[in-house]
Amino acid sequence: MIDTLHWGIIGCGNIAASFAKGLRDVDGARLIAAASRSAQKAARFSQENGALRSYGSYEDLLDDREIDVVYIATPHHLHMENSLMAIEAGKHVLCEKPISINSKQATRMADAARQAGVFLMEGMWTRFIPAVEQLQDWLSDGIPGGIHLFTADFGVQFNVDDGHRIFNSELGGGALLDLGVYPVSLASLIFKRQPDTIQTQVRMHATGVDELNTMLFDYKSGPLAVITSGSISRTPTEAFIAGKKLSIKIHSPLYCPSALTLFKPDGTSDSYEFPLEGNGFNYEAAHVCRCLRKGMLQSDVMPVSESISIMETLDSIRAQWGLRYPMD
């Protein structure tokens, strides 16, 4: 039985800081070190976030024998490269979403982890938020009469120049991979599979990446899903599951909701609150720790096989737009 799992973080940006904060609320987890290509940035990050040491290279962190598991918090286009480095060093890996740029990369990562005998999971933190866990329980019990429609949106207004990662093709930019992955992953959670057919509309930014999109998923069993994401306008960022007899609203923000409303056949509704303990990132970190203590090499909540399937869906969407990245 592993008493304390020792973590390292590769990449020292905002998402890494949020994860480090969440990790402090996880029993039996300790942040040992953080690494950046800038030694000064790594040192500052480690001091601010309670890491014992810092490294000015990713390779030096991966050589640290005290570290058991690494959180990859670099930009999308580096997820495969950095994860493979960690896997080759014998480290378990939690890689921030999206797991990769495309399904081919995700498959390569999964194969490498399997061959090395290490754990790999996509950091889709939404799956482990208490409200979403309750949603999964309701779905497991079954929605009477079935689900007819799922709608979800995630729109943020980025007031940044074209060099920012959200608009930069060389960094895997675009609304779909940065924001749309959340509702697409929710659809995968709800329907337990990927859509049979996909129709899309898109508005492209001047830099050649998507800035606004709408997707219609058709499941041959009957349900439809309508998903939008965008980087130029703010939207409600909520989701709705419409069933024949029951419907469920996932309150904003859908990526980290703290409330659900259940709409009943008689026209009444019940709302449920699920306050967060910590900042939310603690839940996925705790899940990884539980998996590792059980000797699991894949999560049973966010398995790598599902992450690959989701990336295949995102690949299909981008193919309709003709959006290819330099690393595709």
Strand pairing partners for 153? 228
Residue for token pair 């950091």: 123
Determine contact, residues 286/273, Cβ cutoff 8 Å: no
- The Cα 182–Cα 230 span in angstroms is 12
Catalytic residue among 91, 97, 220, 249: 97
Residue for token pair 């869906």: 313
- The Cα 244–Cα 117 span in angstroms is 45
Closest CA to 172 of 59, 73, 79, 308: 79
244 is catalytic: no
Q: Would you please indicate which residues are annotated as catalytic (active-site) residues?
A: 97
